Structure 1
Amino acid sequence: MTMIAMALGTAGMIGAAPAQPPRTQPDASVHQIRLQTARFQDVEVALAENYIPAPFCETAEMMGRDPAEGGMGVHYFRPDLLGLTSQPGERVDGVGTHTDFSQPAVLVYEPQADGSLELVAVENLVFKSAWDAQHGGRRPSFRGRIYNEMADDPSTPVDEAHGFAPHYDLHIWVHRANPNGLYAQFNPDVTCDHAPSMDAHH
C-alpha cells in the first residue's frame, strides 16, 4: 500500500435476426483501442506521456484469488486521469471518473526474461466514492460489460484492493490473448516470474 502510494504520489437470436456476438468477442471498437494504444508497446512512450509504474507485479494469488487465474502484471498509471488525491503512505484514492479506453488511465505490462516489459492490457479505474456521487451507485460499463468492484476486506491477510481505496475497474486484454476472457481481471498466460525479486509479490 505505502509503496504504491509513494510511487503515484510523487490508476440470443429473435426470429431471423442474427445472434449477438458474446461480450468477450472483440469487435471494431476493441480493435480500435488496440490500434490507439499500440504506441505504448514501447514503455518509454508511456513514461513520456506521464504514466508512472507501480512498484510490483500483481498476480491473482497476492489478492487472495486462485493462483490458477494467473497474473495481471505491472501497472503504469496516469495520476491526472485518476484524479489522485491521496498522500504517500495513504491508501491510493482520487476523484477521477475517466473511462475512455482510447486513452486508458492504466497500462499493464508483463516483465520479460531479458528485463524488458511487454504491453498486455489496458485498464480504466475510477474511485467508488467519486463515481457514485455522479452516477448514483450505477457502476460504469463498456460494451455492456460492468466494471469490477474492488475493496479491501480488513478481516483477511491479503489486500484485495492492492493498496487502493474502493474502486471500479475493467481490464481489456487487447495486446495479449486471455483464456479467461477479454475482460477478465487476471490472465493465466501472464506471469510475474521475471519481475525483479524485490518487486514480485506472488
Structure 2
Amino acid sequence: MSTTQQLPQLSQLDRTPIRRTAILTAALAGALLAVPAAAQTRAAANVSGPTAVRDVEAAPTLAAVRAATARFRDVRVALKEGYVRDPSSMCMVAEMEGMPRQLGGMGIHYFRPDLLGITAPPNPRVSGTGTHTDFRTPGVLIYEPQPDGSLRLVAVENLVFEKAWRAAGNTEPPQFAGQEYYHMIDNPLTTADEAHGFEPHYELHAWLYRENPNGTFAQFNPRVSCASHKAPAHAHE
C-alpha cells in the first residue's frame, strides 16, 4: 500500500494550530488531574542528570530499551503506569508539521506528564520542566490505530523542553546512541505547527516496534498509517 493510500486527509482541526492549542489547553487540564498519584511519585527516580545523555557509553542499548518497554505493547499497562493519551487524540502525520507527505506517519502519543515536567495546561503552549532522557522509561509512547479499534505500539520517544534543558546547565542538545535529538520550534510564518502545540523542545523517536526505512531515529515512518484513526467528536465541530 502506498503512503498516499495509507494517510488520510487532514481535518480542519489539524490545519488550524490556534484551534488545536485551544482544545489541547482544555483537555490537558483534565488529563493532568487524572494522572495516578503513584505515577507522579515515581518521577524523581527516573529523571536523568544533565550529563547522562551525553555519555554514549553509559546509555542503554536499543535491545535493552526494547526489553524494558515491551510491556507497553498493552496500552492498558501504559495507562496503569501513568501515561495519558494526547488530549487532542491526534494521529500525527508528516503534513501536520509542514513536512512532505511521503515521509509517513507517527501515530497517537501517550505521555507521562511527570517525566516531561508538565504541571499546568498550555499557556499558550505546552511547557514543562523535566530533563528525563532514559529510554528505558520513555516519556512518550507512540501507538498506531488498528482497524479493529485497538492500538499497536510502534515507537518510544523522549522529549525535553529547551528552556528546562538549558536551565539544567546543558549547552548542547541531548543525544542517544550517537543520535542528536531533533530541535522542534514553531515557525509563525507557516500555517503548519512545527512544534505541535509545544514550546521549543528537543525530541527523539526510537522505532523499535515498527521497522522504519527512514531510519531508527527518524521523526516519521512511511510504514505507519493513520487510516484507521477515529477522530474525536470535537475534531469536526
Range of TM-score over shorter length = 0.7 to 0.9
Query: Are residues 1:135 and 2:169 paired?
Result: yes
Shift of 1:121: 0.2
Name the aligned partner's letter for residue 65 of structure 2.
Answer: I
The aligned counterpart of 2:33 is none
Identical aligned residues as a percent: 54
After superposition, what is the alpha-carbon deviation per residue over 1:9-51, rounded to whole angstroms, capped at 9, x for unaligned? 32xxxxxxxxxxxxxxxxx810111111010000111111110
Instruction: Give the corresponding residue for 2:81.
Output: 49
Task: Report the equivalent of 1:114.
Answer: 148
Structure 1 Cα separation of the partners of residues 142 and 125 of structure 2: 20
Cα drift, residue 90 of structure 1: 3.0
Cα deviation code 1:129-178 (max 9, x no counterpart): 00011234310000111000001111111100011110000000011100
Query: Do the aligned partners of residues 196 and 89 (structure 1) sit closer, same or farther apart at CA in structure 2, a change above 3 Å counting?
Result: farther
Please show how residues 159-178 of structure 1 align to structure 2 within 5 Å. Answer: 159-178=193-212
The offset of 1:88, in angstroms, is 5.0
CA contact (8 A) 1:92 1:165 kept: yes
Give the match's secondary structure for 1:135.
coil
Asked if structure 2 preserves the Cα contact closer than 8 Å seen for 1:7 and 1:53, the reply is no
Aligned mate of 1:179, from 190, 208, 213: 213
Map 1:1-202 → 2, pairs under 5 A: 1-10=21-30, 29-54=61-86, 55-87=89-121, 90-198=124-232
CA distance in 2 between counterparts of 1:3 and 1:81 reads 22
Structure 2 length as normaliser, TM-score? 0.74
CA distance in 1, matches of 2:91, 2:198: 15
Taking only aligned residues, the RMSD between alpha carbons, in angstroms, comes to 2.0
Question: Aligned AA for 2:216?
Answer: L
Contact 2:212/2:222 (8 A) holds in 1? yes
5+ residue gaps, structure 2, are: 1-20, 31-59
Considering fraction of residues, name the structure with more strand: 1
SS in 2 for 1:37: helix
Q: Which one-letter code corresponds to 1:9 in the other structure? A: A
After superposition, give the CA deviation of every residue in 1:165-201 in whole Å (9 maximum; x if it has no partner).
1000000001110000000000000011111134889
SS in 1 for 2:28: helix
Q: Unpaired runs of 5+ in structure 1?
A: 11-27
| SS of corresponding position for 2:90 | strand
Structure 2 SS opposite 1:38: helix
**Distance in 1 (alpha carbons) for counterparts of 2:73 and 2:156:** 11
Give, in whole Å, the separation in 2 of the partners of 1:47 and 1:92: 21
1:51 counterpart letter in structure 2: Y
Residues 111/122 of structure 1: CA separation in 2 closer, same or farther (3 Å cut): same
Once the two structures are TM-superposed, the CA of residue 56 in structure 1 deviates from its matched residue by 1.0
- Tell me the matched-pair count: 185
In the superposition, relative to structure 1, how do residues 40 and 66 fare at CA in structure 2: closer, same or farther (>3 Å)? same
Is the contact between residue 8 and residue 52 of structure 1 (CA under 8 Å) also seen in structure 2?
Answer: no
